[in-house]
Amino acid sequence: MSMLLRLTATLLFSSTLLCHAAEKVAGRWEGSVQIPNGGFNLIVDLDQGGGKDWTGSIIIPGLGVKGAPLTEISVNDAGISFAIKGALASERVGQASCKAHLNERGQLTGDFLQAGNTAPFVLQKTGPPQVELPRKSTAISKDLAGVWKGDFEMTGYPRHVTLTMTNHDSGAASAELVVVGKRTTNAPIDLVVEQDGFLTIESHEIGITYEGRLRKEAGQIKGTFALGPFELPLVLQRAP
């Protein structure tokens, strides 16, 4: 067999192995992460649509993570690895990530990594992938555009909130969310969506979500502020 034929056969064989591995990895995986004195559930969706780049999302019910996108996804003979974009991350602890491999029983086993800490997990494939693609911001009504203020209490300390929303010619609104408590947090907002007077604001980097409905007559947005597993009522009043 010539060198060219050997090279062609090797490439075809490697391609077949990679396709077979991709078929095994693509899907919805469910299980739990084991940490001292307990653990938390993990739901991971991985897909390779059309044999192109991998996409994925993750759900961690106990930590308030709902469909956070995965980045840096790598699937090869060495195993599977990915990072969790935004959710659970902070300047203090950094970004969370996972490294795993398929064992002989078809389970995805590996480690959940963050801030130098490692926790093992075992996931079982439960069905086809249900990757949640990132939502896109929309325009908002003129009744929502502007500055809104409100207060809530968390862990015994008051928090003062200022939400500023602006429409743009691009058709997508932007928002600034400032929370003042023991310190001031200027949350980077990457999603602003309004649908029939219902507003959704999200900061994936910090893990903040605010959902509320406009009460035009009262000049209020009545909703819920969520930070990780914490959910608190928050009424915003239009600023003078």
Exposed, middle or buried: residue 194 (CB in 10 Å: 0-12, 13-18, 19+)? buried
Instruction: Identify which of 22, 12, 90 has the alpha carbon closest to the alpha carbon of residue 50.
Output: 22
- Which amino acid would we find at residue 86? G
Instruction: Give the domain CATH number at 85.
Output: 2.40.128.120
pLDDT in tens, 146-189: 999 999 998 888 999 999 999 999 889 999 999 999 899 999 99
Average of per-residue pLDDT across 197-224: 92
Q: Is residue 13 part of a domain?
A: no
For 62-101, the pLDDT digits (tens) are: 887 888 889 999 998 879 999 987 666 554 556 789 999 9
Both 225 and 165 in one domain: the answer is yes
135: in domain: no
For 68, the domain range is 24-127
Nearest to 176 by CA among 166, 218, 168: 166
Given pLDDT bands bounded at 50, 70 and 90, which one contains residue 105? very high
Residue 52 located in a structural domain: yes
The verdict on 115 and 208 lying in the same domain is no
pTM for the full model?
0.62
Residue 181 to residue 196: CA distance in whole angstroms: 32
Both 156 and 99 in one domain: the answer is no
The number of domains in the chain is: 2
Mean pLDDT (whole number) for 115-144 = 92
Tell me if residue 170 falls in helix, strand or coil: coil
Half-sphere exposure of 79 (CA within 13 A, CB side): 12
